[in-house]
Structure 1
């Protein structure tokens, strides 16, 4: 029981649809996330998949909208591309949807890393220990090494290396 509430009774198909619509009314959910939510409420796997499939067909659930919403929110919160991709993969969003959402965001990851580094630390690192601390912070937020190093050098873009 949660907080003194009565235990929930298992869902039937109609109750599952209503529950899923309420969840979607609060925020976007990936199809896999919504299906898992319904299964935790006692709905069988195939019925949950059918309910989510029906909602997707009607346009009420969309992995595309979910991915775009998550990318927008995480960029605004100062997270890097690696962290965002990992979160979308954990929600089992298809790879093509992830790629499209990141492209639609048109984010300059280096500029985002620089802004986050300035906001958090105020300036470039003073020594090696401070450099490592700031680098670990940016890496933990999901920034790749190029944008993180550029941010620690004061925003200077690192030259692209030729793989030859």
Structure 2
């Protein structure tokens, strides 16, 4: 009545190079990130290394370019230098590269922290210590330096005093 099922044809496996290229077509990625994704997909270490070397030679993958894109993106999203540094470090970038990218941003971190506070909290905190602490924690989680947070949250109090 019913015949036996035909076995499915297996798709030929995509090379590590082609898989990585497809990942890079979506967005910039670090060498470490691509390496981990390809390893999870079951590619052998040698094939992964060869693919990544070829991608670098062809200038499709460049950690320097990735660092710049990532740093600008995160700064534009309102994150502070500590958070950006930690994220770049997690991608296996050198401290020198990270420092260079942060310097290249030319961001006024005080102004950016103040802008984040204004965006998140419409009204000044005033003299409420608990509210000021909550706002300071918000900025610290976003990666702003403690000195910047202190200056910005205290400026908030000074601003409120001037309004009275």
Q: CA–CA distance in 2 between the matches of 1:153 and 1:10?
A: 62
In the aligned structure 1, how far is the partner of 2:17 from the partner of 2:79? 33
Q: Distance in 2 between matches of 1:45 and 1:139?
A: 39
Aligned positions, number: 147
Moved over 6 A (4+): none
Aligned-pair distance for 1:155? 6.8
Q: Could you tell me which residue of structure 1 aligns to residue 134 of structure 2?
A: 133
Structure-2 change in CA distance of 1:102 and 1:114 (3 Å): same
CA shift for structure 1 position 59:
1.0
* Cross-structure match for 2:120: 120
Mark the runs of 5 or more structure 1 residues left unpaired by the alignment: 1-7, 157-164
Residues 1:146 and 1:16: Cα distance change in structure 2 (over 3 Å): same
Deviations along 1:83-119, whole A, 9 cap, x unmatched?
1111111111122221111111111111110100111
**Kept in 2: contact 1:10–1:41 (CA 8 A):** no
Q: Hey, what does 1:48 align to over in structure 2?
A: 48
The CA RMSD measured in Å over matched residues stands at 2.0
Larger Rg: 2
* Runs of at least 5 residues in structure 2 that lack an aligned partner in the other structure: 1-9, 158-164
CA distances 1:128-155 after superposition (whole Å, capped 9, x unpaired): 1011100000001111111111221237
Is contact 2:80-2:144 (8 Å) kept? yes
Relative to the length of structure 1, the TM-score reads: 0.82
- Scaled by the length of structure 2, what TM-score is found? 0.82
Deviation at 1:65, TM superposition (A): 0.9
